[in-house]
Structure 1
Amino acid sequence: MIEPFLVAVQFLTRLPVSLSVLPEAKAIGYSLAFYPLIGLLIGSLLGGFGWLLCDAPPMVAAALLLAGWVLLTGGLHLDGLADSADAWIGGLGNTEKTLAIMKDPNCGPAGVTVITLGLLLKFTALHSLFINQEWIPLLYATLLARTLIPLLFLTTPYVRSHGLGTPLAAQQPRHLNILIVTATPSLMLWITGFDYFWLVMTAILVFILLRAMMMQRIQGTTGDTAGALIEVTETGVLLAAVV
């Protein structure tokens, strides 16, 4: 299971991981089971970075932490969020047009606006968390967002025949993913205490809402909409923690 783990690290982060050979479809599919662990890794690294910045002015620390977050993930999910926003607005309710716009590498005004708003909301939430030196919600945000991706692929058709998510959908370990999706939030709550139960509920509500939007518009999911789900979940959980 080392190769699927490395595939997940390589895809979801910009950590220096190299594979000697191109991974097989099965390894890519099984990497989905490690997404929550990668989310925990990302949150732990960001929390450690925030701790190192404890003596910095709060606004500077929040800005540096947000920059580190984007660099660590390579802006991968922001790209998905922007493409989804452009497609949903420009698609005008049409499935084929929505999918076509989503494949366009150019970023339109809707995408730019949504990325700006998303980063602004994350910045303000991180500022509040830094003032209170409260890092557990950050762990929840990164972990829950990536726990929802196995759930998304378990419950939602993948609509592209040759997309990045094709091997994930086709080769995913369904029974293992079901176990991981159900056990991860329970384990986190057991470790940190049930005071954070409402963060889990926030993530579930975001998932229900965005999945319903995906099914209504494109009758499934794509890699871009999965990335958008991660970004919106992270932001929603952080805002729920500070509001």
Structure 2
Amino acid sequence: MSALQALITALQLLTRIPLRLPRYSTANQAAVAGWSVLFYPVVGLLIGGLLLLVWWLLQVVANSEVSLLLAGLLLLCWVSITGALHLDGLADSADAWLGGFGDRERTLAIMKDPYAGPAGVTAIVVILLLKFAALGEMTWAFWPQLLVIPVLARLQVMLLFLTTSYVRSGGMGSAATEHLPRKTAWVWLLLIAAAVIVFIDTGWVLIIGTVVVFIVLRAIMQQRLGGTTGDTAGALIEITEAVLLCVIVLSSEF
């Protein structure tokens, strides 16, 4: 197993960037899945960097810093990079929570349904509207925050896998939680959080927002499922991104 394999695995899982994974033995697949979690924040940094590049190009073409059209195009690029993967997890989670009637097994069964119900569609619309509205208020002065928000959202998944059981046996998610190098992950997590606080203006606001979202959503997952799934991890990413975008815009008003 190599760092390159883990990085490419993380990119394949979290984005739609076309990459071919180097060959590795079946015996190493679980280890690669675990180590790939360490690269989730790196993937977030790549996403943030691509968003900044697109945002800058749009501003140059439009000769304007802020407009609803720029916000819409930037959001379109954001969704395209991830292939709406996390939005799918959000929709499945919303449908399952509404239709599961508090029953764990029913909730898990609904998450496997490939079709989106009213709750799922509503959740996607609300999240995209919040992101769109926040992006429409952001000027170029917010570029450091936009860069790190995808990082913190994916750092949430690392923290989730460190602290929460994966309730479905088998698959990449289960292997990732079982084979995640925990000591390294905790150090990496704390270093990233410290860097955000030190180097990003209002970074402490982003960290507080991230922690609050994590505590609330993890408690909900524990209460209903006793753990997490890939869908709830995707929902955590989307909700974190939307909340942090709103937080930095609202905090700038004070």
Say what the alpha-carbon RMSD is for the aligned residues.
1.4
Once residues 9 and 163 of structure 1 are traced to their aligned partners in structure 2, the CA distance between those partners, rounded to angstroms, is 17
Indicate conservation of the 8 Å contact 2:196/2:204, yes or no.
Answer: no
Report 1:227-242 matches (<5 A).
227-242=234-249
The reply to whether residue 2 of structure 1 matches residue 4 of structure 2 is: yes
The one-letter code sitting in structure 2 at the alignment partner of 1:144 is: L
Structure 2 residue 110 is matched with structure 1 residue 101: yes
Q: Residue 152 in 1 paired to residue 160 in 2?
A: yes
Give, as a single letter, the amino acid of the residue that structure 1 aligns with 2:41. P
Report what 2:36 is aligned to: 31
Deviations along 1:9-53, one digit per CA (max 9) or x if unpaired, are 111111121114367121111000011111111011101110111
1:113 aligned partner, one-letter code = T
* 1:136 Cα deviation from its structure 2 partner: 1.8
C-alpha displacement of 1:192:
2.3
Give the stretch that moved more between structures: 17-26 or 45-54: 17-26
Take 1:19 and 1:148, find their aligned partners in 2: how far apart are those partners?
25
Q: In the aligned structure 2, how far is the partner of 1:84 from the partner of 1:215?
A: 13
Structure 1 residue aligned with 2:16:
14
Q: Given the superposition, is the C-alpha separation of residues 39 and 72 from structure 1 closer, same or farther in structure 2, using an over 3 Å criterion?
A: same
Q: Do 2:33 and 2:172's aligned partners in 1 also have CA atoms closer than 8 Å?
A: no
1:150-193 CA-to-partner distances (Å, cap 9, x unmatched) read 11011001100124411111111111111111111111222224
Alignment of 1:1-243 (within 5 A): 1-21=3-23, 24-55=29-60, 56=62, 58-129=67-138, 131=139, 133-193=141-201, 195-243=202-250
Contact 1:140 1:199 (C-alpha < 8 Å) held by counterparts:
no
What's the CA shift for 1:133? 4.4
Matched letter for residue 2 of structure 1 = L
Task: Give ranges in structure 1 of 5+ residues lacking alignment.
Answer: none
Percent identical across equivalent pairs? Answer: 49
Aligned residues of 2:58 and 2:70 also touching (Cα < 8 A): yes
Equivalent pairs, count: 241
Change in 2 beyond 3 A, CA 1:163/1:102: farther
**Unaligned segments of structure 2, at least 5 residues:** none
Name the TM-score, length of structure 2 as normaliser. Answer: 0.91
| In structure 2, C-alpha distance between the alignment counterparts of 1:135 and 1:219, rounded to whole Å | 37
- Indicate if the aligned counterparts of 1:38 and 1:143 stay in contact, CA closer than 8 A: yes
